[in-house]
Amino acid sequence: MKPRFVLDAWAILALLQKEEPAASRVKELLELAQQGEAELSISIINLGEVIYRVGKVKGEVQAAQTLDDIRRLPLTVVSANDEAVFGAVNLKMRHAISYADAFAAATAEQQGAVLVTGDPELIQLAHLIDIEALEREEA
């Protein structure tokens, strides 16, 4: 069975912003997925978070281009169906995390996947779900 990973918005933004060493690890996971050696996914909620953040900083045209670029990656976008929504709700009710972060965690939990993130709010859930903690170099 191939290893499964869920990327959150933090991981994708680190890749887009070339923030090392996190960006290199995300690239490595994408290469593994491209070679068929791993499965990668992202919740549609977290993908939306990435796109609105790009749009706020760089504008709507760049946001649309970023979405096109991400859709070409070997990354499955997971819809926000009832199971995902209520999985996120249950995590949000019990833990001090954002609603969007709850979708990342719920997606990983439902897929039996490792959540790849550098977000401290999510890293605190390592006792509940498998987490690979990414880091950015200190400036």
- Do 50 and 12 touch, CB atoms closer than 8 A? yes
Can you give the pLDDT at residue 48? Answer: 97
Q: 4-133 belongs to which homologous superfamily?
A: 5'-nuclease (3.40.50.1010)
What is residue 2's predicted lDDT score, i.e. its pLDDT? 94
Query: According to the model, what pLDDT value does residue 70 have?
Result: 97
Domain residue spans in the chain? 4-133
Tell me the backbone φ, ψ of residue 5, rounded to 5 degrees. Answer: -135, 145
Is the torsion defined by CA of 84, 89, 94, 100 positive or negative? positive
Mean pLDDT of successive 10-residue segments in the chain (139 residues)? 96 96 97 98 98 97 97 96 95 95 96 96 94 84
